[in-house]
Structure 1
Amino acid sequence: MHHDTLPTFNILIEPTHLKALQGNVWNEEPFPSKLVVDNIPYDVGITYRGDHIRKFSKKSYRIDFGTYNKAFEGREIHLNAEYRDPSLIRNKLSFDFFHTIGSISPDCKHVFIELNGKPQGVYLQLESVDELFLEKRQMPYGPIFYATNYHANFSLLTPKENPKPSLQSGYVQKIGNDDDSRDLEMLIYKVNTIPCSDFGEEIAKCIDVKKYLLWLCGVVCTQNFDGFIHNYALYQNGETKLYQMIPWDYDATWGRDWDGQIMKFNYVPIEGYNTLTARLLDIKGIRNQYRLLLEEILETSFTVEALEPRISNLIMQLRPYLLLDPYKKKSINIFDSEPSVILRFISDRNSYLRKHLNDLI
């Protein structure tokens, strides 16, 4: 069976700049460099990206073109090392799965990176969630917030039960103005103060309930423990003014946690987490809608039959390149056994969720 070859991205950066980049992993000022793909050089700025992942030996990068780049369909791209995921496919598998169930997610594909001609290994090229992301999908322009830490839990308190320093705590605004930030604060305030009797009707004026439930199905199936309070972007549709969730950073899924350790298939309950989810599922009609959506997904998209061919294809496509990855080639045996870990998870998680569908009645 013929498999696509991975595109090679060669990043060229002056040794002095490279030294400065490596010297301060938290630097956010892009260093001028060149990105060469198919013999075409692009002038770009480069920085590391991510939070705890900046400390890993295999770094993740943000590539900034400075202006819209037609070839890459964006102004910037993220290159994720997927360092803690022994399969390197969990993020891609997750975003494709979200797409399959009708929830939007960033486009992504695997690439092979060289830095000044030296192999850096297999990476995942990820689309940035910004106004160009919206344009590409013909979605109305509107504010986007990145949930950058665990305070983004839709509560007035932090996960440790302390009052938040501000209602915007946990979010970084990617697009929008101060009014949009105030709208976000208002949303958090409403989620926590609308009385139960009015909640269903009032919250439907703030968030797109069906889209939220589809997103919830995605997080619950892939079992992204952090996905409820972190690892998402929040977009407010400029026309309807309704908020919706966009998933981000889904490498700790399909049976592994963010350390790359096994996470038991029953770790995340069928109801998920966070204050907004809890309040929505408290309403019988919404809970029923969620149950029906999830039931259909468990019968169609979230099955071993549906996902096995995708998993095999990705693994076969990456394997030859993994042998050239200086950070991953030693763990090729783990890589080879990952499909069975993922498939066992899908099978166990599917039965677990099916068993608990009745809890939603």
Structure 2
Amino acid sequence: MQKYEIFINPKWIKKLENDIWMDDHVPAVLKIGDNQYSIKLAYRGNVIRKKKKKSYHIIFQKPFTVNGAHEIHLNAEYNDISLSRNKLSLDFFDRIGVISPQSQHVLLNINGFCKGIYLELESFDQYLLQKRKLPDGPIIYATNYYANFSLLNPENELKTSLIEGYTLKYGDKSSLTELEYMIAMINSLNNEEFEKEIPKVLDVEQYFTWLSGVICTQNFDGFIHNYALYRNGKTNLYEITPWDYDGTWGRDLHGQKLEHDYIPITGYNTLTGRLLYFSKFKKMYVETLLEILEKQFTIETQEPIIEKLFQKLTPYISLDPYINIDNEKLKKEKIYMLDFINKRNSYLKQNFGTLI
């Protein structure tokens, strides 16, 4: 496992600790192997900021990019006793054909003190597009639960803005205007117009592949949060990509068990609801999901992937001062994950009839 060492003036650590909600970055140095980089550092996330083990956002200063990235995220994965659900989920999306941030586990030291195992994540931005040779296009983050493709917020109150819940990551202001247009279209067009117009702005097949990934991994927040929208500059269609998937594979974001049938096969959001009204879109979704259930979301496919990751983590778990897990608990967690896959797979196959 790669070792990351951060060196930071104690006064900047104190500044971060005095205001855990501060998003301002402070100067530091990151050492990876024999290489040293000037960086800016800040806490990231929401719930995790209150925990003993924090997550970090890093922006490279000198050099400006490292391995093609200008920003990276170091996730504490504090509520996941396996430290693996986020990576397993993002890798799963990648395998089924959805653009997904790459990730790797690293051992983090700050000023000589071991802070434990972290998950390094790519930032979904223009540098990721360049690195993967994808067409340029705007990227918009769904930054809170208001990003539900609806006129109403989750409290069933009228939104103050159609793009409430979204933050522009890359692109100009017109990108938000274009998104506003799509959300208005989703909520105002009659059925005949919607069926005709939505494929002109949304990559529907890609959306259903993403939806299948959310449904399989059972990310409760994934339908109205924990995603980014990317408008492909070549097709001019919106695509959707996952983010923050630690509440998956049978547990919620707090690490508590989540029954395999907690989320229905249709998921939750206004866009999905409108799409699944039409027979041709239902057929597309069923075919996409069924293929994934047959080939990817199976014990046969996932068990060696989980086992390989757990074997990689095992030698370093005792070094993490914030987690209390041994090899036996890790084995039990693997059994729990595989049982979830088996039950979730069966449940979804049994509920295809609700789509017809």
Q: TM-score normalised by the shorter chain: which range applies? A: over 0.9
Contact 1:152 / 1:171 at 8 angstroms: preserved in 2?
Answer: yes
Measure how far apart 1:332 and its partner are: 5.9
Give yes or no for the alignment of 1:227 onto 2:222. Answer: yes
Q: Equivalents in 1 of 2:62, 2:282: separation in Å?
A: 44
Task: Evaluate the alpha carbon distance shift between residue 152 and residue 214 of structure 1 in structure 2; reply closer, same or farther with a 3 A threshold.
Answer: same
Measure how far apart 1:136 and its partner are: 1.7
SS of the aligned residue for 1:66 comes to: strand
Query: 288-297 or 135-144, which moves further after superposition?
Result: 135-144
SS of the aligned residue for 2:137 comes to: coil
Match of 2:41 among 46, 55, 75: 46
Give yes or no for the alignment of 1:341 onto 2:320. Answer: no
Deviations 1:264-309 (A, max 9, x none): 0001101111000000111100100110111111111000000000
Match of 2:31 among 36, 51, 58: 36
Structure 1 partner of 2:310: 315
SS of the aligned residue for 2:351 comes to: helix
Measure how far apart 1:239 and its partner are: 2.9
Task: Evaluate the alpha carbon distance shift between residue 68 and residue 286 of structure 1 in structure 2; reply closer, same or farther with a 3 A threshold.
Answer: farther
Amino acid of the structure 2 residue aligned with 1:300: K
Give yes or no for the alignment of 1:292 onto 2:287. Answer: yes
SS of the aligned residue for 1:204 comes to: helix
Consecutive unaligned residues of structure 1, counting only runs of 5 or more, are 1-5
Give yes or no for the alignment of 1:7 onto 2:40. Answer: no
Query: 231-240 or 157-166, which moves further after superposition?
Result: 231-240
Amino acid of the structure 1 residue aligned with 2:335: S
Measure how far apart 1:358 and its partner are: 2.2
Q: Equivalents in 1 of 2:306, 2:135: separation in Å?
A: 34
Measure how far apart 1:71 and its partner are: 4.0
Matches within 5 A, 1:1-361: 6-66=1-61, 71-329=66-324, 333-361=328-356
Count of equivalent residues: 356
Task: Tell me the TM-score normalized by structure 2.
Answer: 0.97
Query: 61-70 or 179-188, which moves further after superposition?
Result: 61-70
Q: Percent sequence identity over matched residues? A: 48
Query: 237-246 or 92-101, which moves further after superposition?
Result: 237-246
Query: 306-315 or 50-59, which moves further after superposition?
Result: 50-59
Measure how far apart 1:143 and its partner are: 1.0
Q: Equivalents in 1 of 2:45, 2:286: separation in Å?
A: 34
SS of the aligned residue for 1:323 comes to: helix
Task: Evaluate the alpha carbon distance shift between residue 216 and residue 330 of structure 1 in structure 2; reply closer, same or farther with a 3 A threshold.
Answer: closer
Question: Over the residues paired in the alignment, what is the CA RMSD in angstroms?
Answer: 1.3
Measure how far apart 1:201 and its partner are: 1.5
SS of the aligned residue for 1:158 comes to: coil
Contact 2:317 / 2:326 at 8 angstroms: preserved in 1?
Answer: no
Q: Equivalents in 2 of 1:330, 1:94: separation in Å?
A: 21
Task: Evaluate the alpha carbon distance shift between residue 107 and residue 162 of structure 1 in structure 2; reply closer, same or farther with a 3 A threshold.
Answer: same
Contact 1:90 / 1:251 at 8 angstroms: preserved in 2?
Answer: yes
SS of the aligned residue for 2:77 comes to: coil
Deviations 1:11-67 (A, max 9, x none): 110111111111111122211101011132111110011112111110000111036
